[in-house]
């Protein structure tokens, strides 16, 4: 089963890269002009800072799930430090290595296996459902108007994927969600993830506004960005969802009538911003720990 999933992930990643490179190649001149423009570079820099801030919402959600099971097991600053430090691990081949690294660092800090297992499975389940909800609510109607039954098939597959993940995690949740306070914690976590996806979508909208005179609704753009994030998250073997997310961004934006060159430039800018954000939080954490010295 694992081999089949790994092979599927590899095939999807290869297909995604081919699609992305083909999209860039067909309009290379325009894509280059957009990406290398001064305004675009400035926006990418600003969005790097925004993404670094948005990541703290995901870090807070992870911390919230840990303390829902094991209160006082770790402080919020320590949890965010571990989260930020491990973000770059996702670029080690395979997009779950940041979770593995985060688990190891938190275990070394004294958090129990039970709390970490719940937080890890909870993250996978709740963040998948949150991404799907944002994508479905904001982009389904627009994509359906352009793609017809194809959009329904896509979101049906995404829904099944999210539900399978959630059901697989349900046994872990059942033991931890037997208290009202823990149910409230799960709701809090869900809200944090939704806010993260809204900010992630705003990043794509900002890049689009910089490279194209777009006058349409921003809702489907945010929804497409969430769908892209979800696919990149569930595809095994793609470092940080590399290739898969860009493919969905380009396919989704061109499906609603945007030029391929614009969609490709936005996808590249978004990837640069997210890589920059991941690297930035890791560097800031390293500097803070170095300045703190032996006391940490």
Residue 140 has pLDDT above 90, yes or no: no
Residue 280 has pLDDT above 90, yes or no: yes
**So what's the pLDDT on residue 5?**
58
| pLDDT interval class at 83 (50, 70, 90) | very high
Averaged over 42-60, what is the pLDDT?
96
Mean pLDDT across 86-98? 76
Contact indicator for 131, 227 with CB cutoff of 8 Å: yes
Note the pTM of the prediction, 2 decimals: 0.86
Q: What percent of the chain has pLDDT above 90?
A: 37
Range of weakest confidence among 57-61, 143-147, 188-192, 236-240:
143-147
Q: How far is CA 243 from CA 17, 22, 47, 132, 142, in A?
A: 5, 12, 20, 19, 24
Tell me what pLDDT residue 57 has: 96
Mean pLDDT for 239-262 is 88
Mean pLDDT, rounded, for 75-81:
93
Nearest to 34 by CA among 207, 202, 206, 245: 207
Quick check: 1 pLDDT over 90? no
DSSP 168-211: HHHHHHHHHSSSHHHHHHHHHHHHHHHHHHHHHHHHHHHHHHHH
Report the pLDDT averaged over residues 10-37. Answer: 85
Q: Give me the pLDDT at residue 296, please.
A: 43
The pLDDT value recorded for residue 154 is 59
Q: Provide the Cα torsion 271, 277, 282, 283; round to 10°.
A: 110
Of residues 277 and 113, more confidence is placed in 277
**Burial class of residue 283 (count of CB atoms within 10 Å of its CB; 0-12, 13-18, 19+):** middle
Given a cut of 70, whether residue 34 has pLDDT beyond it is yes
What whole-number distance in Å separates Cα of residue 210 and Cα of residue 178?
A: 48
Res 157: pLDDT:
62
Q: Pick from 111-125, 167-181, 190-204 the range whose average pLDDT is largest.
A: 190-204
Q: Mean pLDDT, the chain, as a whole number?
A: 82
Query: How far is the C-alpha of 96 from the C-alpha of 79, rounded, in Å?
Result: 18
A 10 A CB-CB count for 35 gives: 20
The predicted pLDDT at position 199 comes to: 97
Q: Per-residue pLDDT for 33 more than 80? A: yes
């Amino acid at each position: 089963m694992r081999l089949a999933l790994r092979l599927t992930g590899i095939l999807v990643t290869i297909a995604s890269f081919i699609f992305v490179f083909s999209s860039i190649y067909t309009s290379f001149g325009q894509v280059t002009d957009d990406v290398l423009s001064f305004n675009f570079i400035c926006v990418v820099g600003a969005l790097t800072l925004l993404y670094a801030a948005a990541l703290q919402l995901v870090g807070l959600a992870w911390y919230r799930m840990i303390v829902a099971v094991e209160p006082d097991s770790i402080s919020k600053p320590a949890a965010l430090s571990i989260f930020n430090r491990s973000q770059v691990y996702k670029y080690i081949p395979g997009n779950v290595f940041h979770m593995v690294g985060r688990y190891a660092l938190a275990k070394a800090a004294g958090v129990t296996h039970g709390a970490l297992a719940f937080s890890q499975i909870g993250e996978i389940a709740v963040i998948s459902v949150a991404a799907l909800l944002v994508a479905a609510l904001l982009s389904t109607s627009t994509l359906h108007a352009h793609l017809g039954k194809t959009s329904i098939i896509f979101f049906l597959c995404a829904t099944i994927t999210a539900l399978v993940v959630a059901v697989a995690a349900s046994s872990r949740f059942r033991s931890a969600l037997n208290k009202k306070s823990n149910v409230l914690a799960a709701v809090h976590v869900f809200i944090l993830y939704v806010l993260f996806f809204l900010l992630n979508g705003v990043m794509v909208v900002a890049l689009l506004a910089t490279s194209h005179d777009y006058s349409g609704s921003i809702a489907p753009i945010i929804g497409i960005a969430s769908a892209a994030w979800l696919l990149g998250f569930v595809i095994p073997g793609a470092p940080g969802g590399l290739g898969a997310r860009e493919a969905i961004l380009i396919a989704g934006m061109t499906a609603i009538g945007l030029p391929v060159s614009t969609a490709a430039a936005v996808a590249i800018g978004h990837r640069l911003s997210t890589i920059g954000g991941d690297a930035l939080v890791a560097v800031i954490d390293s500097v803070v720990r170095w300045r703190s010295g032996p006391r940490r």
